[in-house]
Amino acid sequence: MYKLYYSPGACSMGIHIALNECGQEVELEEISFAARQNRSAEYLAINPRGHVPTLVEDGRVLREGAAILIHVLEKHDSPLLPKSGPERDAAIEWLMFANSTLHPAYARVFFLKRGGVTEGTLMDAAATNINDLWSEVEHRLAEHPYICGDKVTIADILLTVIANWSGNVPKPIHLGPNTKRLLKEISSRPAYQKALADERVEYKAAA
């Protein structure tokens, strides 16, 4: 049995969806950043970084989203993470793009917002960076139905999770038609819909 510490719609949703895709039961424990539950002594004892996701499996604590995703998908033999070859290399590359490049690009915007910055050169540069990254995704999807080729991978799922943060950016974020096609398909998957319902999140990025 898994226990997932999550924040609604955050990157932790990727793990929630992956567990659903693998047919695994999961106990959900919501962590409110607004209420600073992530800085509570109880949560810091589990994850001293104060971040989500945190996954507890049979008493063992796993942290860092991409590492958790790889562990879960390999353990349950999911086709969302190919076993070997160029297909696996591409899936891991684009998973890391979502986790380590696109996610921090949004994080910079949200850091500026928390500091009261919604206009000016810093915010403009941060939003431009996000748009440049989505432009790369759009060009890739002009050549392939999914980010890694002809099959859905976990990278498509995490990209779809992150895209839904765009409405919280105080500058326009441009998602092209190929990207929106992907977002609509991936967010419509039953495992994704269940996670949205469980976390009470509305998906808007595909509109």
Q: 72 exposed, middle or buried (CB, 10 Å; 0-12, 13-18, 19+)? A: buried
Which residue is associated with the tokens 């915007």?
109
- The answer to whether residues 174 and 131 touch, using CB atoms and an 8 Å cutoff, is yes
- Distance between CA 64 and CA 12 in Å, rounded? 9
- Distance between CA 30 and CA 146 in Å, rounded? 31
- Distance between CA 130 and CA 126 in Å, rounded? 7
User: How much is the pTM?
Assistant: 0.95
Domains and CATH numbers, the chain: 2-75 (3.40.30.10), 85-188 (1.20.1050.10)
**Can you give the pLDDT of all 207 residues of the chain as single tens digits?**
899 999 999 999 999 999 999 999 999 999 999 899 999 999 999 999 999 999 999 999 999 999 999 999 999 999 999 999 999 999 999 999 999 999 999 999 999 999 999 999 999 999 999 999 999 999 999 999 999 999 999 999 999 999 999 999 999 999 999 999 999 999 999 999 999 999 999 999 998
